Amino acid sequence: MKKTDIILLAAGDSRRYGEDNKLLAVVDGKAMFTYAVDMAVKVRQRQRDQVGTIVVVSKYREIKDYVTAQKKEFLLYQQNDHSERGISESIHIGVAATDQGHDAVFCVCDQPRMKVETVCRLIQEFAGSGKKAGVVTDEEGNQGNPCIFASSMRQELLTITGDTGGKKLIHKLPPNACLYVKAEKTELEDIDVQKK
C-alpha cells in the first residue's frame, strides 16, 4: 500500500492575529500548535501501515523544541528561515523532506479542533481512489484544510509561489480529479483573529 506523509505548516507570521504569535497562544490549556502535532502523531499511531513521516515546518524555537522533545523517529522538524516568501516556502521545504513516492497531507497548525478521525478518513478514502488531490470541506461544501495530494502532484506543489497554498492547485483540477471529505464546521475554523 502506498504511504502518505503528513506536513504541518507552522511558520506563518500571524499578521491577522496581532502582534502575538498565534501558534503559541494558549487554547484550552495548550499552545495552539501542539494540537496539530499531537493530532498528527495520533493519526500515525492509528494508521502505522499507511502513514510514513510527519514533517513540521516552522521557524519558531518553541515549536522546534516541542517536536524534538518527542524523540519519535517518524517526527521531523524542518526550519523555514524565509517565511516572508509566503506559505509556498513551507510547502517546498515540507515536500523536499518527504519521500518522493508518498502522497502528502498538508495541515495548518491553527485549527485546534481538527479531529484525528477526519484526517484518518481523508487518508483512507484517498488511498486507491485514483484522485490527484483531496480536501476537507464543511457540511455546506466550503473547502478548508487539510488537503492531500498524490505523489504525481509533487512537481506542481514545488511550482507554487508566494503566499499561495495547495488549494490553488485543487481549484485548477476538474472536480472528478478531487476527493471531498466532509467534516464539522468547527474543525475547519482557524484562529486568525485575537479575541479582545
pLDDT confidence tier of residue 193, bands split at 50, 70 and 90: very low
* CATH code, residues 4-188: 3.90.550.10
User: Cα 171 to chain center, whole Å?
Assistant: 18
Position with higher pLDDT, 168 vs 192: 168
Report which residue type is found at 15: R
pLDDT confidence tier of residue 88, bands split at 50, 70 and 90: very high
Give the angle subtended at the CA of 126 by the CAs of 122 and 131, to the nearest 5°: 135
Kindly tell me the sign of the dihedral angle through the C-alpha atoms of 6, 11, 16, 21.
Answer: positive
- Give yes or no for residue 196 having a pLDDT over 70: no
* pTM of structure: 0.93
Separation in Å, CA 9 to CA 77, 112, 153, 166: 11, 13, 18, 12
Position with higher pLDDT, 16 vs 59: 59
Domain boundary assignment for the chain: 4-188
pLDDT confidence tier of residue 13, bands split at 50, 70 and 90: low
What mean pLDDT do residues 22-38 have?
A: 94
122 Rama sector, left if φ>0, alpha if ψ -120 to 50, beta otherwise: alpha
Separation in Å, CA 166 to CA 42, 48, 67, 74, 76: 24, 25, 24, 23, 21
109-168 pLDDT per residue, tens: 999 999 999 999 999 999 989 999 999 999 999 999 999 999 999 999 999 998 888 888
170-190 pLDDT per residue, tens: 999 998 999 999 999 999 988
Percent of the chain with pLDDT over 90: 83
